[in-house]
Structure 1
Amino acid sequence: MGFATTDDGQEIFFRTHGTNGPLLVFVSGYFGVDNIWQPLIAKLSLQYRCISYDSRGYGRSSKPVSSDSYSVTRHAADLRTVLDACNITERVVFVTHSMGCNIAAAYYLAYPDSVTGMINSAAYYDGHRIQKFVPKEAFASGADIPSQCVAFYTNMGLDEETALEAARWPAHGRRNNAHALISFTMENKYPQINVPALVVLGQDDAATPEELVTPIVQEMPTCKLEVLKGVQHFPPTEAPVEMERLIRVFVEGLSR
């Protein structure tokens, strides 16, 4: 584990796992810490190398106060900083959650030769379109009230023990990341993401219904959709066994 320093002087906490095999990079979303990935990484790191990290505004990473310090493209630049700190020069597979799908997309558009595939769980098209289903006020509501922060995530399917992490975050971090999420637009650039991709959707996910997902699958040149029954917005924690299987099948398919 370590801290990577960004070009604007912020520190991003990261962890590396495993010593052999293809490289998986786990990108969190509006629940911006790497906690949701740890059960999966414990299994996958026996066969793959894995990198996980906390996004700015969350967990063990820096939490700048200014809203100007937050955007999806800024998060993508932070991701590049983490990979540079880990001396990564090879192409990677992104495994993302929620807003992480937009962060990975922004990263790909900036560094298309650095990515070999994407697995996007609880994905949505972009912040502009998600407002129809989850208004900006909902993301930042109760930011000053720990119990409401926890309820925001448990209502979307996250277990309470993990959701309690949100009670530790400063309110400005949640507000600024809410603005970053809502402000981002893909500007119809999904057709430019020309790598194998898989979108994993929870059938009961009210935050990212199929209307926000199918355009991604339709527009990306090589993208498939997997729908998990009985799952809401957190496939990595709600369905870890199935997620592990899907990741393994996807990565094995890249080498064929």
Structure 2
Amino acid sequence: MPYVTTRDGVEIFYKDWGSGQPIVFSHGWPLSGDDWDAQMLFFLGQGYRVIAHDRRGHGRSSQVAEGHDMDHYADDLKAVTEHLGLRDAIHIGHSTGGGEVAHYLGRHGDQGVAKAVLVSAVTPFMLQTEGNPEGTPKSVFDEFQAQLAANRAQFYLDVPTGPFYGFDQPGAKPSEGSIRNWWRQGMMGGAKAQHDGIVAFSQTDLSDSLRRISIPVLVMHSEDDQIVPYAAAGPKAAKLLRNGTLKTYQGLPHGMHTTHAETINADILAFLRG
């Protein structure tokens, strides 16, 4: 299997299919590059080269004890892009992966990158503070960590069965396959990485990273996202970007790229071709 080794010795697994303009996908917590299957196959069919990596401590990458923070996530993404020699790349990130993409571009610059897409992203800042009253209270994230530590396997069934895909909403039709696939990906990764990752995605203010990005960025977020509340994320992120476009959805869940892949894929394709 293909891996790139980072400067601190972490082996990052990646998938690299096709040719043409590269699209690099960054996954959400606590999943893996497999979460982008519907997008990888679709954009491969549209003539793009598609690449997805497993974040350190997740999926098939090294289950190291340290480095589970946005700085390392961004640096690991840079290691992948440099290893593959990518030019004119498009970066797409979901949830924590959206934060990873934003920080990668803000930390390392957006030269050589054509466009970016942030899907249900944690940008700019999830934590509720005096300056960010729309954020989520720290007690919620503390409870996430407590549930993970107490019974990770059960927690990783409860999340996709409920709020992640909106299967807890009236009239929803739960997909057993999507639930099991979420659980499979989560349990492949390391508990330490995923435990620390909760702090990384909830307590990292990415506002400055967004301000530094000059390329066109599409921000896709649903007003009914139960994981990353819309008011604290989508509109704020788009406002901070120099060249941001906000695409707002109603009735779609946090994991809308899975539950409504046709809609999300079509909207991303229109942005890339526009």
Please name the residue that 1:178 is paired with.
198
Per the alignment, in what secondary structure is the counterpart of residue 141 of structure 1? helix
For residues 37 and 115 of structure 1, what CA distance do their matches in structure 2 show?
A: 20
For the 8 Å contact 2:127–2:138, the answer to whether it is kept is: no
Per the alignment, in what secondary structure is the counterpart of residue 135 of structure 1? helix
Residue 119 of structure 1: how far off its partner (Å)? 0.9
Q: 1:156-235, aligned counterparts within 5 Å?
A: 156-158=163-165, 159-165=178-184, 166-212=186-232, 213-235=234-256
Residue 217 of structure 1: how far off its partner (Å)? 1.1
For the 8 Å contact 2:31–2:182, the answer to whether it is kept is: no
TM-score in terms of structure 2 length: 0.84
Q: 1:240-251, aligned counterparts within 5 Å?
A: 240-251=261-272
1:73 aligns with 2:66: no
Please name the residue that 1:7 is paired with.
7
For residues 203 and 241 of structure 2, what CA distance do their matches in structure 1 show?
A: 22
Per the alignment, in what secondary structure is the counterpart of residue 113 of structure 1? coil
For residues 12 and 244 of structure 1, what CA distance do their matches in structure 2 show?
A: 26
* Partner deviation per Cα, 1:153-204 (whole Å, 9 max, x = no partner): 3323343122222234332121121122233112544232111111111232
For residues 215 and 237 of structure 1, what CA distance do their matches in structure 2 show?
A: 24
Q: Given residue 70 of structure 1, which amino acid in structure 2 is its aligned partner?
A: H
Residue 142 of structure 1: how far off its partner (Å)? 2.4
What percent of counterpart residues are identical? 21
For residues 65 and 106 of structure 1, what CA distance do their matches in structure 2 show?
A: 21
Residue 234 of structure 1: how far off its partner (Å)? 0.7
Deviates more, 1:27-36 or 1:149-158: 149-158
Alpha-carbon RMSD: 1.9
How many residues get paired? 249
Please name the residue that 2:155 is paired with.
148
For residues 51 and 241 of structure 1, what CA distance do their matches in structure 2 show?
A: 19
Gapped regions of structure 2 (runs ≥ 5): 129-134, 166-177
For the 8 Å contact 1:108–1:114, the answer to whether it is kept is: no
Please name the residue that 2:91 is paired with.
94
For residues 163 and 65 of structure 1, what CA distance do their matches in structure 2 show?
A: 23
Q: Given residue 121 of structure 1, which amino acid in structure 2 is its aligned partner?
A: V
* Partner deviation per Cα, 1:190-242 (whole Å, 9 max, x = no partner): 23211111111123212222211211111212211222332111121011001
For the 8 Å contact 2:70–2:204, the answer to whether it is kept is: yes
For the 8 Å contact 1:157–1:238, the answer to whether it is kept is: no
Q: Given residue 222 of structure 1, which amino acid in structure 2 is its aligned partner?
A: N
Residue 127 of structure 1: how far off its partner (Å)? 4.2
Q: Given residue 113 of structure 2, which amino acid in structure 1 is its aligned partner?
A: V
For the 8 Å contact 1:150–1:167, the answer to whether it is kept is: no
TM-score in terms of structure 1 length: 0.89
Residue 133 of structure 1: how far off its partner (Å)? 7.8
For the 8 Å contact 2:103–2:210, the answer to whether it is kept is: no
Q: Call closer, same or farther: CA 1:120–1:63 in 2, change over 3 Å.
A: same
Please name the residue that 1:41 is paired with.
40
Please name the residue that 2:105 is paired with.
108
Per the alignment, in what secondary structure is the counterpart of residue 28 of structure 2? coil
